[in-house]
A and B are shown apart, each in its own frame.
Chain A
């Protein structure tokens, strides 16, 4: 309903739910406030926003008063000005005037309001309240003297982050903001409290005394740490990034960031960055050389190996953190110059496990829906992942849905940060999720809860019915250690929800029978008709920042850009014409095959761009063997990693802060990321190195002046990127597929492209249930009876974050998590060191007990040097490889 009211003699029609503060904003009238923030609950604590409303005697707080028909409001008369001046006078009784050293100075609301609405004099002469400047965490400072008790930090921590680590304790003038028992912060370090503080009471320790706010320039970029695709601003001065900021309402994240996005920027100007190219000399030592010398060496040696052994003896593995432009040029270099389809990325493992199922069943190769739709789901299943850790901002969407009353069920071998908030958390051992999903399907069929309209033209409904009937619900409940009631309720909630979706992650997809589980999840979505609309759909989530970009740009041994098959002569011809070069026709080797081939002496040259296989690939020994054996190893990196130090040529590359380009988020949103600082040292953006090598290899088609030119070529060769340019991505980015015309004409009116796929429903030829047989997708191995699940930590997402000093303060080594009962069974006490042994190798690591884990399941982060996952992960061809879920035994030392 709309109402008409008068504010400062101007009439306006607004929605009846709006408060006076927001309504005034629409008229361009600024009402000062400390405690109000659009995303938070209304409080009316600071009294700065007082206005006069005709017929109401006392001044009213504009933030808590809803508009009403015929209301007449004054926002700035003498009475109001006096009231505001007095409020400021009260606040300044205790607020220390230390703006000279305060990090908030220059963007402090109190400073601004005192300037604009305050008085130069005070009538108070007493002593100021002085509380000790307490450091409440390794990364967050609290200065209580500066606090004006607006409660924004407390509310944001509770209402947005769902952590509630901060509270208002004590009373009256003694009230302070702080954690439980005034201890140090034990939280997610999401930075919301720092961001929400209108003064300098809560600040970042990483930023302290580094730069004044007004001295720094800002560049808008996309966060490099996961595939949520958050917008952030690098604040830089003198070519150093000093902090990251984010803007309310901007980007996919809408003004939120996580610990990695906010604190992880110190990798950019890390002192150990490689700053010049290096070539291994005759004595076998890496020596600094000029770019020309380094590139000549690479071009010459690659050319020679190609001539001697053919293109198939050359391989390249590229990081999924790079931009679309980088990725596109990498595969173009490998294919058109080095004549090889041996092109892959570490997340290729995920692509091959998940995408074929999605393509086969739904005809899509991405998440079907947009992540922000999760805000409003009524029911959600989260299977085999901790989305609050792998994708913290997507996790916030889930928390928002829960806040709204959405019924979230988590099916995971470990309880997560969501468990406390979710409707139910089902701790289920790896492999048993399938039984649970089939149990749900059985209930839905039995109770007739399926969408009869949607399944009308589906084939094999009877097969599905048959496949779930062979086991009684009681048996399923006993086998999965979940109650019958939970299975029934989850099924009813999901089927009955207006909007329902499924998220699944690595633990679900990358264990041995993961494909069966994904198929069962798709059956569940089809049966309940939860596909093809807003708030429905399937979200496969993998952390790799530009995972979708690797898929779209043809970073695969069997796919060209646009996800078309290398084996198709027509598609090859298209690219041959565009590139004016030959494209090899044979499917290449994937990353694990390349490593094996290198170890066997069959692969002669390996080009690794931003990839550190020694730390992150399965089969520690074979990887080391491969890197030693391969005739020519080129490593393009930020740091001299374990892998880079074995290279013949090391090429220094740049971080995302040092280049322009585009990234594609997990929900298909192509977004622009902008350069903040000049390349550190002599490093160069990855795309430029590929371009230079292409030209030196004799391909003039590899010559580009800037990243925008590369994007122009992508816009011509990749059909669903057709018509894209940095210009039309400037506002919000675009979700493919999009209309070329709409993108061009309406990009600043909020046109976003396709919000969700399958708008016309599941393709007709794919309306078939898979009716998965079997009940356990993992199975026991008597030799390696335990299941080790590798999962990122909230504060670390890969070998890249290991270089962040800030994040290392929060976590810097791996421990092996296990249920105390598992530990007692194995006779390994909490804190003791054990040998964890897989078919591949072993690591020694300290045990840490956690009640959150299912029995027989172990958890460990991947990337820490004290327990390298590489030593345990088992190489193999796709499904045989154990990378996310590994069978192990634990041996007491």
Chain B
């Protein structure tokens, strides 16, 4: 088994120990640990999934099951910013499809893909709880309300400027 200090900094290892210690059954720490590792590495590589499985003492396939189940966990590398377009009912009737098309065109990628500059990965998600502001788009942790085809450019631009 790889030691945590071989892959992570001392502070990160400590944080993972802390997460693990919060749970009586170590297997319960699987989701928070996967979140944490993804926050450091951007996605969950094979090494990361193997590490977390061994760290908490569950069979390897368990972390793979969890990582592939949740749309918020990624087993492939993603761009610096994650563009999540809601495709549920409220957003759909309020024009989410047009927003998605505009995003595809602007980023030059299909759903599930990452733009050539590596900045954005475009995904569709189920309801993000912003029906009153439909159509809604989440980029990383930011909620963008009542998005239209026209505002797409401006919104993306604000992230490009951050670079």
Q: Do A and B come from one complex?
A: yes
Residues in chain A within 8 A of chain B (CB atoms): 158, 163-171, 179-181
The reply to whether B65 and A167 form a contact with Cβ atoms under 8 Å apart is yes
The reply to whether B68 and A165 form a contact with Cβ atoms under 8 Å apart is no
* Interface residue B14 (Cβ < 8 Å from any Cβ of A): no
In the complex, number of A-B residue pairs with CB atoms less than 8 Å apart:
35
The reply to whether A158 and B68 form a contact with Cβ atoms under 8 Å apart is no
* Interface residue B64 (Cβ < 8 Å from any Cβ of A): yes
The reply to whether B62 and A169 form a contact with Cβ atoms under 8 Å apart is no
Nearest Cβ on chain A to B24's Cβ, whole angstroms: 17
- Since A169-B64, A170-B68 are in contact, a sample of 7 more A-B pairs with Cβ atoms closer than 8 Å, ordered by chain A residue number, is A158-B59, A164-B59, A164-B61, A164-B62, A180-B50, A180-B64, A181-B49
Return chain A residues, CB-CB under 8 Å to B59.
158, 163-165, 167
Q: Once the chains are docked, how many angstroms separate the CA of A181 from the CA of B60?
A: 9
Return chain B residues, CB-CB under 8 Å to A165.
59, 61
The reply to whether A181 and B62 form a contact with Cβ atoms under 8 Å apart is no
Q: Once the chains are docked, how many angstroms separate the CA of A167 from the CA of B67?
A: 12
Return chain B residues, CB-CB under 8 Å to A181.
46, 49, 64, 75
Q: Once the chains are docked, how many angstroms separate the CA of A171 from the CA of B50?
A: 20
Return chain A residues, CB-CB under 8 Å to B50.
180
The reply to whether A170 and B61 form a contact with Cβ atoms under 8 Å apart is no
Q: Once the chains are docked, how many angstroms separate the CA of A169 from the CA of B65?
A: 4
Within 8 A of A (CB), among B113-156: none
Q: Once the chains are docked, how many angstroms separate the CA of A196 from the CA of B69?
A: 24
Which B residue's beta carbon lies closest to that of A182? B64
Which B residue's beta carbon lies closest to that of A165? B61
Among A164, A166, A169, point to the contact of B68 (Cβ < 8 A).
A169
The residue in B46, B50, B65 that gathers the most chain A C-beta atoms within 10 A of its C-beta is B65
Within 8 A of A (CB), among B33-50: 46, 49-50
The reply to whether B49 and A167 form a contact with Cβ atoms under 8 Å apart is no
Among B49, B61, B70, B75, point to the contact of A166 (Cβ < 8 A).
B61
Nearest Cβ on chain B to A430's Cβ, whole angstroms: 25
Which A residue's beta carbon lies closest to that of B50? A180
Known A181-B46, A181-B49; contact A171-B62, beta-carbon cutoff 8 A: no
Nearest Cβ on chain B to A182's Cβ, whole angstroms: 8
Q: Once the chains are docked, how many angstroms separate the CA of A169 from the CA of B71?
A: 12
Specify the main secondary structure of chain B where it touches its partner: helix
Nearest Cβ on chain A to B125's Cβ, whole angstroms: 13
Q: Mark B57-93, 1 if CB is under 8 A from A, else 0.
A: 0011110110011110001000000000000000000
Known A158-B59, A181-B46; contact A171-B69, beta-carbon cutoff 8 A: yes
Return chain B residues, CB-CB under 8 Å to A169.
61, 64-65, 68-69
Nearest Cβ on chain A to B50's Cβ, whole angstroms: 8
Can you name 7 A-B pairs with beta carbons within 8 Å?
Answer: A163-B59, A164-B59, A169-B65, A170-B69, A180-B49, A180-B61, A181-B64
The reply to whether A179 and B61 form a contact with Cβ atoms under 8 Å apart is yes
On chain B, the number of residues with a Cβ less than 8 Å from chain A's Cβ atoms is 14
Nearest Cβ on chain A to B70's Cβ, whole angstroms: 8
Nearest Cβ on chain B to A174's Cβ, whole angstroms: 9
Q: Once the chains are docked, how many angstroms separate the CA of A163 from the CA of B59?
A: 8
Nearest Cβ on chain A to B89's Cβ, whole angstroms: 17
Nearest Cβ on chain A to B72's Cβ, whole angstroms: 12
Return chain A residues, CB-CB under 8 Å to B49.
180-181
Nearest Cβ on chain A to B6's Cβ, whole angstroms: 15
Residues in chain B within 8 A of chain A (CB atoms): 46, 49-50, 59-62, 64-65, 68-71, 75
Q: Once the chains are docked, how many angstroms separate the CA of A167 from the CA of B69?
A: 11
Return chain A residues, CB-CB under 8 Å to B61.
164-167, 169, 179-180
The reply to whether B68 and A171 form a contact with Cβ atoms under 8 Å apart is yes
The reply to whether B60 and A180 form a contact with Cβ atoms under 8 Å apart is yes
Q: Once the chains are docked, how many angstroms separate the CA of A573 from the CA of B69?
A: 75
Q: Once the chains are docked, how many angstroms separate the CA of A158 from the CA of B65?
A: 14
Which A residue's beta carbon lies closest to that of B65? A167
Nearest Cβ on chain B to A878's Cβ, whole angstroms: 42
The reply to whether B62 and A167 form a contact with Cβ atoms under 8 Å apart is yes
Nearest Cβ on chain B to A607's Cβ, whole angstroms: 51
Q: Once the chains are docked, how many angstroms separate the CA of A637 from the CA of B59?
A: 44
Q: Once the chains are docked, how many angstroms separate the CA of A164 from the CA of B69?
A: 18
Nearest Cβ on chain A to B66's Cβ, whole angstroms: 9
Which A residue's beta carbon lies closest to that of B57? A420
Nearest Cβ on chain A to B82's Cβ, whole angstroms: 18
Which B residue's beta carbon lies closest to that of A164? B59
Which A residue's beta carbon lies closest to that of B53? A180
Nearest Cβ on chain B to A735's Cβ, whole angstroms: 36
Which A residue's beta carbon lies closest to that of B63? A180
Q: Once the chains are docked, how many angstroms separate the CA of A167 from the CA of B58?
A: 12
Q: Once the chains are docked, how many angstroms separate the CA of A493 from the CA of B88?
A: 57
Which A residue's beta carbon lies closest to that of B68? A169
Nearest Cβ on chain A to B28's Cβ, whole angstroms: 17
Nearest Cβ on chain B to A403's Cβ, whole angstroms: 14
Q: Once the chains are docked, how many angstroms separate the CA of A179 from the CA of B65?
A: 10
Nearest Cβ on chain A to B48's Cβ, whole angstroms: 11
Return chain A residues, CB-CB under 8 Å to B62.
164, 167
Nearest Cβ on chain B to A137's Cβ, whole angstroms: 15
The reply to whether B65 and A168 form a contact with Cβ atoms under 8 Å apart is yes
Q: Once the chains are docked, how many angstroms separate the CA of A47 from the CA of B50?
A: 34
The residue in A168, A171, A181 that gathers the most chain B C-beta atoms within 10 A of its C-beta is A181
Return chain B residues, CB-CB under 8 Å to A163.
59
The residue in A158, A166, A169, A171 that gathers the most chain B C-beta atoms within 10 A of its C-beta is A169
Q: Once the chains are docked, how many angstroms separate the CA of A164 from the CA of B50?
A: 14
Nearest Cβ on chain A to B69's Cβ, whole angstroms: 5
Q: Once the chains are docked, how many angstroms separate the CA of A165 from the CA of B46?
A: 15
Q: Once the chains are docked, how many angstroms separate the CA of A276 from the CA of B157?
A: 84
The 4 closest A-B pairs by CB, nearest first: A164-B59, A167-B61, A169-B68, A180-B60
Return chain A residues, CB-CB under 8 Å to B70.
171
Return chain A residues, CB-CB under 8 Å to B75.
181
Which B residue's beta carbon lies closest to that of A166? B61
Q: Once the chains are docked, how many angstroms separate the CA of A169 from the CA of B64?
A: 7
Nearest Cβ on chain A to B53's Cβ, whole angstroms: 8
Which B residue's beta carbon lies closest to that of A183? B46
Which A residue's beta carbon lies closest to that of B62? A167
Return chain B residues, CB-CB under 8 Å to A158.
59
Return chain A residues, CB-CB under 8 Å to B64.
167, 169, 180-181
Return chain A residues, CB-CB under 8 Å to B71.
171
Which A residue's beta carbon lies closest to that of B1? A851
Which A residue's beta carbon lies closest to that of B45? A181
Q: Once the chains are docked, how many angstroms separate the CA of A166 from the CA of B65?
A: 10
Q: Once the chains are docked, how many angstroms separate the CA of A169 from the CA of B60?
A: 12
Nearest Cβ on chain A to B60's Cβ, whole angstroms: 4
Q: Once the chains are docked, how many angstroms separate the CA of A170 from the CA of B75?
A: 11
Return chain A residues, CB-CB under 8 Å to B65.
167-169
